[in-house]
Structure 1
Amino acid sequence: MKSYNAKNPQECKICGYKLSHNKQGRFTQHLKEHNFTLDSYLSKYYYSYQDLKCNRDSCNNMVSLTRGIPNKFCSSSCRQKKPPLICAECGSDFEAKNRNTKTCSSVCAKKIKSKKITLWHKGMHPDEKQKHFKRIITKTAATRRNNNTPSWNSGKKGIYSETTINKIRQATLKQMKEKVFRKTNIEIIIEKFLMKNKINYRYSYILENRQFVFLLIDYKIIIECDGDYWHANPKFYPFPKEWQEERIKIDLIKNGIAITNGYKIIRFWEDDILNNLQYVERIIYDLLATT
Structure 2
Amino acid sequence: MQTEPERIGYGILKRLGLPYRAQHLVARKFCVDAYLPEQKVVVQFDGDYWHGHPAKYAALDARQARRVNHDRSQDAYMAKLGYRVIRIWESDLKKRPEAVQEGLRKALTDGSSYVLQ
User: Shorter-normalised TM-score: what interval?
Assistant: 0.7 to 0.9
**Aligned pair partner of 1:288 in 92, 103, 108:** 108
Greater relative contact order structure (CA < 8 Å, 6+ sep): 2
Partner of 1:197: 16
C-alpha distance in structure 2 between counterparts of 1:196 and 1:243, whole Å:
34
Q: Across the two proteins, how many residue pairs are aligned to each other?
A: 110
Structure 1 portions without partners, runs of 5+: 1-181
Partner of 1:262: 82
- Compute the displacement of 1:196 (Å): 2.3
Matched, 1:214 2:34: yes
C-alpha distance in structure 2 between counterparts of 1:238 and 1:200, whole Å:
36
8 A Cα contact 2:42 2:83, kept in partner: yes
**Aligned pair partner of 2:5 in 163, 186, 208:** 186
**Aligned pair partner of 2:49 in 229, 254, 263:** 229
RMSD: 1.1
TM-score, normalised with respect to structure 1: 0.37
Secondary structure, counterpart of 1:195 in structure 2: helix
- Compute the displacement of 1:197 (Å): 2.6
TM-score, normalised with respect to structure 2: 0.88
- Compute the displacement of 1:280 (Å): 1.0
Q: Which entry has the higher C-alpha Rg, 1 or 2?
A: 1
Dislocated runs of 4+, deviation >3 Å: none
Secondary structure, counterpart of 1:279 in structure 2: helix
Q: Deviations over 1:22-68 (max 9, x none)?
A: xxxxxxxxxxxxxxxxxxxxxxxxxxxxxxxxxxxxxxxxxxxxxxx
Partner of 2:95: 275
C-alpha distance in structure 1 between counterparts of 2:100 and 2:14, whole Å:
15
Higher strand share: 2
Q: Deviations over 1:173-230 (max 9, x none)?
A: xxxxxxxxx0101101111122223211011121231111101121111110110111
Identity %: 25
Secondary structure, counterpart of 2:56 in structure 1: coil
